[in-house]
Amino acid sequence: MPPNSGVEAVVLDVLGTMVDEPGGLRTALREALPAAGEETVERLRTLWQEHVESQQRRIADGSRPYADSEVIDREAAERVAGHAGLTDAGAVDRLATAGQRLEPWTDSVAGLARLAERFPLLGLSNASRAALLRLNCHAGLRWHQALSAQEARAYKPAPQVYRLALDVVGRPPAHVLMVAAHAWDLRGAQRLGMRTAYVRRPVGDPPLPSDDFDWRAGSLAELAEVLTSDRGGG
């Protein structure tokens, strides 16, 4: 049967899957702290990421009320600035919006265009509505619709975030494909019955041996080739 058999819509993660999130943060940190060495930049980037992940976990377990990604990124920027001794308010403001200026992977734009010839495409991101709009514009990402987890007042892998996409598509989960470079994201979609495709990126969360995803691809271009091919396979 065709490799895309049963897939009626494709939902794609954005941060890490479509754009280089760690690379963009490093660039913003170098800009804010031009005298910092690479070891310092990496330490501060890790500090930023740890804050974001810890706050999302707190929201998930109910120990913190929902706050959108712009609020959490501002907190992360201020935390980094405090550790680095950065006191320039304008530099901190720009650092806080680093997540809105991430570069796409080399195959992201073309891969989306190819998939769009066959399927409705939805971006599904933990970024806030406003941040996602600016990021899509900066990176040149073109969707049929882009959805923010802000609508669900939660963060992936909370099930209500994936339901945003399923509600828009209006098809059973088994006919909707979730694409991500993060195995944890795909597991979240899988729990709702969605089909799954892992795309390898230099960043992300690789699958474990126990993960059973429908597709695994070395790039978005490779996945697009498989999904839009009529040559058969599975």
Query: Which of 50, 72, 100 is the last residue in one of the domains?
Result: 100
Does the residue 1 lie in any domain?
Answer: no
Query: Based on the structure, what is the number of domains in the chain?
Result: 2
Express each pLDDT in 72-127 by its tens digit.
999 999 999 999 999 999 999 999 999 999 999 999 999 999 999 999 999 999 99
Assess whether 108 and 207 both reside in one domain.
yes
DSSP string across 161-209 = HHHHHHHHHTS-GGGEEEEESBHHHHHHHHTTT-EEEEE--SSSBPPPT
Residue 192, both tokens: 């709702």
Assess whether 33 and 51 both reside in one domain.
yes
Assess whether 128 and 181 both reside in one domain.
yes
Express each pLDDT in 11-22 by its tens digit.
999 999 999 999
Assess whether 92 and 146 both reside in one domain.
no
Q: What pLDDT, on the 0 to 100 scale, is given for residue 234?
A: 38
Q: How far is residue 74's CA from residue 170's CA, in Å, rounded to a whole number?
A: 35
Query: Which of 77, 100, 123 is the last residue in one of the domains?
Result: 100
Assess whether 220 and 172 both reside in one domain.
yes
Q: How far is residue 227's CA from residue 145's CA, in Å, rounded to a whole number?
A: 20
Residue 114, both tokens: 């190819």
User: For 58-71, what is the mean pLDDT?
Assistant: 98
Using pLDDT thresholds of 50, 70 and 90, give the confidence band for residue 230: low
Assess whether 82 and 134 both reside in one domain.
no
Express each pLDDT in 156-180 by its tens digit.
999 999 999 999 999 999 999 999 9
Assess whether 25 and 113 both reside in one domain.
no
Does the residue 127 lie in any domain?
Answer: yes
Assess whether 130 and 79 both reside in one domain.
no
Assess whether 69 and 156 both reside in one domain.
no
Q: How far is residue 38's CA from residue 54's CA, in Å, rounded to a whole number?
A: 24
Domain of residue 66, residue span? 21-100
Does the residue 95 lie in any domain?
Answer: yes
